[in-house]
Structure 1
């Protein structure tokens, strides 16, 4: 059986904002409870690196209880299971989805190296959904890329299942997998003084995400007290077009929400372009293919660029502060 055999009864949930993706150890009930009140767009309850091996069975139960207790507001609720080279993964998926699948938005699969691994998770989710009576296909998949093999297979991974919603960069394991000479996650390695050592990796993830209508998420910045360092590294991936970044500490959340949303001026200008283009291409506006707004010419390409900025602003809950006024005839 392959992922394509899954019945298309229900498609995964529509993509939602993931500017800030908060990591929460599943083995710590206090942190799970605190996360409910924090302003992150997404929380992912972690069964992998944040949980010691002996703590994983108990962490599954903590996560199920926390999800079913509610109180998460409109946050995206995600669980990161262990990777498929371990013996924990299948129990992670079964216990979490059978126990709290109705209150779960997605499963994050770390260290993805092939499309087959995503397809395994897709089939497993379908079987559980059918067994417990959940809508088939509603629970999404987030694929985390953490080594060279995964990056080389990224296009196949990105289209391995209709459940996939995001592609995520996992910098720490990736750095280790390619023998990068650095112990500071996300920072430039000593001796690399020209350009950005991560540019190829980030762009590869971004291109695969955009080619398949997915979100691209940057990984963590481990110096949790260095908010300015976080801003600098987050600004790099935001400038490329990434949709969000992991946060490991409440102090990083506001910075991520700000950096991965447009400025108020850019949002207002994008909405102005969209309104003006709609007017000028209408009969009332003269059926023009291009027009001027002040000293700026706008056309169809301008509209497409404005749609991106406007969509990010709307998703972030922004309100425009100005409106387009058609010229008086």
Structure 2
């Protein structure tokens, strides 16, 4: 693990003040949104603003993305033209919403190859973050995750609930059942294909307890990070998805003590290869977060 994406902050593409503020935020990944957070009548202005504002070196975040509109919309062609006009050189990935099948990935792969040629970068440079928001997308999630350009799967809970016919978009006991089912499938598909698994946003950004509860649950499942909709969520997100120094040191000590043995007993608890793999994850996350061995 060479880079952490614990936090992915959404910035509406038509909000100039928010884009300016985002330059100085210490967040693992920024994405400028052209989809749901931008009204139809504002999408053209948002593209113009991003063309002028998004320069890789202007932002503290090490990973810059743009969320384009879905394939079946009338907007995505203009989004791709924006990338071909130069913005494609300034980003690391595009977030592709409402993917239903690997055919959508193949289509976007070809479109991105055209973008890359237009801006003079190597084909394959721009990664694809796949957003699972439909029943069909979840059904095909393993094939989507296996696409060579896809580097992550992320979950869009509200669109997913609407697509499966849930009677409410509020997270309650009933809707949480279907959400947990989707999250488990997304996580397993991501891990089987060696890519990141990312949770969607917690929309109640004024309630840190709600955010922390959601983040802890998703971290406990094994997810790598979470989408954010407000800068106030960054610090807490990093706290949840980063091992403490004590956890990091304990993992290092365990790995040194184990060193290829089949099974050891530590603090009256059996430690086997599965425990060692978990310790290796903690170690790699700690190193990526800046801890030293």
TM-score (norm. length: structure 1): 0.83
For 2:219, the equivalent position in structure 1 comes to: 238
CA RMSD of aligned residues (A): 2.0
Alignment of 1:104-253 (within 5 A): 104-160=91-147, 162-184=148-170, 187-189=171-173, 192=174, 196-253=177-234
- Shift of residue 229 of structure 1? 0.4
Compared CA separation, residues 83 and 33, structure 1 to 2 (3 A): same
Runs of 4 or more consecutive aligned structure 1 residues displaced over 6 Å after TM superposition: none
For the pair shown, which has the larger CA radius of gyration, 1 or 2? 1
- Shift of residue 242 of structure 1? 0.5
Per-residue CA deviations over 1:244-282 (Å, capped at 9, x if unaligned) read 11111111111111111223322221111222233xx4x
Cα distance in 2 between the residues matched to 1:17 and 1:121:
25
- Shift of residue 87 of structure 1? 1.2
Cα distance in 1 between the residues matched to 2:116 and 2:274:
42
Point out where structure 1 has 5 or more consecutive residues left out of the alignment.
Answer: 1-13, 282-287, 321-329
Match of 2:36 among 15, 26, 49: 49
Per-residue CA deviations over 1:188-209 (Å, capped at 9, x if unaligned) read 25xx39x844211110000000
For 1:258, the equivalent position in structure 2 comes to: 239
Alignment of 1:13-92 (within 5 A): 16-68=3-55, 70-92=57-79
For 2:257, the equivalent position in structure 1 comes to: 276
- Shift of residue 292 of structure 1? 4.5
Compared CA separation, residues 167 and 15, structure 1 to 2 (3 A): farther
Does the alignment pair 1:311 with 2:284? yes
Richer in helix (by share) = 2
Point out where structure 2 has 5 or more consecutive residues left out of the alignment.
Answer: none
Per-residue CA deviations over 1:74-126 (Å, capped at 9, x if unaligned) read 42101000001101112202312431222210000001111111111111111
SS at 1:198 equivalent? helix
For 1:7, the equivalent position in structure 2 comes to: none
* Matched residue count: 293
Compared CA separation, residues 170 and 253, structure 1 to 2 (3 A): same
Contact residue 26 and residue 61 of structure 2 kept, 8 A: no
- Shift of residue 58 of structure 1? 1.7
Cα distance in 2 between the residues matched to 1:294 and 1:171:
41
Cα distance in 2 between the residues matched to 1:114 and 1:188:
29
Per-residue CA deviations over 1:143-195 (Å, capped at 9, x if unaligned) read 101111111111111113x11111010011111111223333xx225xx39x8
